[in-house]
Amino acid sequence: MKSNKQRRHEIKQRRWARMEAQREAALRPAMPHGALAADVQRLELIHGAPFWLPGYYVDISYRCCDCGAACVWTAQDQKWWYEQVQGSLYASASRCKDCRARHRAWRQSHCDAAEMAALRALWRARPDASARARVHAALQSKAPDLRSLAAQALAWWWVQFGDKPAHAQLEALSLERSWAPRIDRILRRQVELRPGVHRVCRVVAYPRVTMGAALSGH
């Protein structure tokens, strides 16, 4: 037989537990059933501190922009793209597998690997007239990859050597959506240029709330 005091104590305990559970549920955004949790710390390391990071991944349906086929960008593929490939947060799947292969072949046929390597090599040294001419030519190129590498050369010249012509040229460019974030990161010195490594990012530490932060218990 329980005393009144004991009973009151138990009721209080249960009420506490219920309130705790409610409080925790309110703090934690619901992750949909079957979703794949994102490694938010890794994402922060890769992408610096953008205003948004995915907290989890769910399968996304889309139509191929070339042939119109119905496709699914799976949660696993998204995780691989954002966390392993370190792909842009602004990019999403737009082509089916076959069209992607065709598109890549087209890009490669229009883009010369030797020229790409040559442009990357220009990043490290103070620009001379021939380097400037090469970058200028690449900026006029039809290949987006070459235009991107040329713009990155300008950003690196400004960041490393305070090269004013490069800065002026960069300001006059209309930055393309696919590479504007990368240029921005270089200019804000969130990326380090090391031999042979093009994607080394520093973590920029300022507080920010992400959906995943609550999920991973921070």
Does 175 engage in binding with Zn ion (CB under 5 A)? no
Which of 31, 89, 99, 143 contacts Zn ion by CB under 5 A?
A: 99
Does 66 engage in binding with Zn ion (CB under 5 A)? yes
Nearer Cβ to Zn ion (89/99): 99
Token digits of residue 158: 């400004």
Residue whose C-alpha is closest to residue 132's, from 164, 104, 100: 164
The least CB distance from residue 128 to Zn ion, in Å, is 45
Does 96 engage in binding with Zn ion (CB under 5 A)? yes
Does 35 engage in binding with Zn ion (CB under 5 A)? no
Give me the residue label for tokens 């996304």.
60
CA distances from 39 to 46, 65, 84, 116, 151 (A): 11, 29, 11, 32, 31
> Among the candidate windows 21-29, 94-102, 107-115, 174-182, which touches Zn ion by CB under 5 A?
94-102
> Among the candidate windows 49-57, 66-74, 181-189, 193-201, which touches Zn ion by CB under 5 A?
66-74
Distance (Å, whole) CA 178 – CA 77: 19
The least CB distance from residue 69 to Zn ion, in Å, is 5
Strand partners, 57: 36
Distance (Å, whole) CA 109 – CA 217: 47
Does 67 engage in binding with Zn ion (CB under 5 A)? yes
Strand partners, 200: 192
Q: How many residues interact with Zn ion (rule CB under 5 A)?
A: 6
One-letter amino acid of 60:
I
Nearer Cβ to Zn ion (10/98): 98
Interaction site with Zn ion (CB under 5 A) = 64, 66-67, 69, 96, 99
